[in-house]
Amino acid sequence: MSNARILVVDDEADIRELVQEILSEEGYVVEGAANAAEARASCARQAPDLVLLDIWMPDTDGISLLREWQTTQALTAPVVMMSGHGTVETAVEATRLGAVDYVEKPLSLAKLLRTVRTALEEGRLRRQSTRNLLPPLLAPVGRSRLMRDLREQVKQIAPHEAPVLVVGEPGTGREAFARYIHSLSSRASGPFIATAAAAITETGAEATLYGSESGGTVRKGLLEQAAGGVLFVNELGDLVPAAQRLLFAALDTSGFVRQGGTTRVPIDVRTICSAQPGFESRGGEPFRTDLLSHLDVLTLSVPPLRDYAEDVPELLRYYVDRL
């Protein structure tokens, strides 16, 4: 994980710059912050993979900032505390608040690099265990020629980063196919965030998709929650105009600004959407063609069960065995 993003928070410029230089030479992407305000702003711009946090700083000290992050859950990355004159009590308190390690100043190069590597690995394992990961998925059940062809199509679609539109009638297993695509992709270890398009309201679309910032508290929207993985939107035809506009703007510019915020957040997400045939022109306002061009790059058509009725006995056995 040599390209991991590390935030170094220390009010002493010489130490901060030295740590930045050492870690940059190791291939890490490093940003510095001189105080709590700069650290909050950096995390709001882009979540780090690791934070090195000095305990003794003016204004807001490291322990208070760590406690704030734990309370608001604004930071999910592991935190390593740094101090030149720490006490057992502060080390215990930092550990209680979630810090994964503690390094003393003056910093030992070997100790620093070893601690960074260990903390990044712990963060990776933590993300794997806490994210909305998929359980192991079997290939869609069925021996019919139609189902065999569909499985092959999924295997061809999955490795690509391109957005996918899964088209079919309700009840045809469109979300199951979306999850199967995700499980075979390079993003399989990332989150699969699913939402019903109808759940995104006209007035709440911005906060739902982009997230919000208020009083130093950051609430991540769907696009940010799905970072590194997939955002699945069910029944795309139910997406209200405001949500269509905001989603298009984010995808078209590869980023967004949270509601109430000023910092641009980059997008790292693959979209998979489900829709019924002909949804683009069904009643009400027509669906935005510019947004559709972003969402319908690869298409998977899922047939109704009546088209492969010969698979019904196998499907029944499969679901009975799972009871």
Q: Does 180 share its domain with 81?
A: no
135, part of any domain: no
Q: Does 108 share its domain with 222?
A: no
CATH number, residue 253: 3.40.50.300
Q: Does 176 share its domain with 300?
A: yes
Q: Does 93 share its domain with 207?
A: no
Q: Among 130, 154, 174, which residue terminates a domain?
A: 130
Q: Does 125 share its domain with 153?
A: no
Count up the domains in the chain and report the number.
2
Q: Does 183 share its domain with 318?
A: yes
278, part of any domain: yes
User: Residue 132: what pLDDT?
Assistant: 46
Q: Does 219 share its domain with 284?
A: yes
Q: Does 223 share its domain with 100?
A: no
Q: Among 98, 130, 162, which residue terminates a domain?
A: 130
Domain hosting residue 235, numbered range? 145-322
Q: Cα(151)–Cα(84) distance, rounded to whole angstroms?
A: 59
Q: Does 124 share its domain with 155?
A: no
Q: Does 80 share its domain with 171?
A: no
CATH number, residue 45: 3.40.50.2300
159, part of any domain: yes
User: Residue 84: what pLDDT?
Assistant: 76
Q: Does 295 share its domain with 189?
A: yes
Q: Cα(76)–Cα(196) distance, rounded to whole angstroms?
A: 26
Let me know: does 13 contact 44? Beta carbons within 8 Å: no
Q: Does 44 share its domain with 149?
A: no
137, part of any domain: no
- For the chain, list residues with pLDDT below 70: 1-2, 73, 86-88, 126-139, 141, 283-284, 311-312, 314-323
149, part of any domain: yes
Q: Which two tokens stand for residue 67?
A: 């406690």
Q: Among 103, 130, 157, which residue terminates a domain?
A: 130
136, part of any domain: no
139, part of any domain: no
User: Residue 173: what pLDDT?
Assistant: 82
Q: Cα(81)–Cα(264) distance, rounded to whole angstroms?
A: 28
